[in-house]
Structure 1
Amino acid sequence: MVSYIQGKLKFRNAKLETKLKEELVPIGYEITRDDNDILLKKVGKVEAVLSELVPICERLGWNVEEDLILMEKPEDPAGRPIRYVRGKIHR
């Protein structure tokens, strides 16, 4: 089964958003923005996405425990979503 990750990262400034896109789009992330957040989407598992995102976000200056929220949505509607909030994975 394929899982989809949706998440948001607090928007800081356009320069950081551009740097983030330059690193994440080539490895399969879809990135958009609303008024206050950078929105992220990718096919994968929450653990794999965290292992990619955390080093990049921290290097660019984000505090992932405060600034990042992720939700893994399983393709199967009967499956439960898995959330990453405040530095912890909630199953």
Structure 2
Amino acid sequence: MKKYIISIALLIIVLFATTSNPSKADYVSFVKEEISDEGGKFLGIISGPFIDTFTTKKNFGLFSLYETKFEEDEEKLLAIGLFNNFIWISTPESSPKK
């Protein structure tokens, strides 16, 4: 009986994760909001098209990996999208200096 309950619970979690995997537009809005909080509303507004252009999304079904890189040798933003939320993996502030 425990096996069935655990299996059903895992199935529900997997289904919820796949249906709540955030889109690239959600990520762009999230980063714009972060930039607005850090650098002001105007900077957040004008950054949207740049973020969208320089961001790639890798969809793994249960979650997505978002990478924003403006230049080849420049540091990048890296985040995981999971359950309609974003978790920063790497930001320029958190990366060690070269």
Same fold (TM over 0.5): no
Q: Which has the larger radius of gyration?
A: 2
Q: Which one scores higher on RCO, CA 8 angstroms, separation ≥ 6?
A: 1
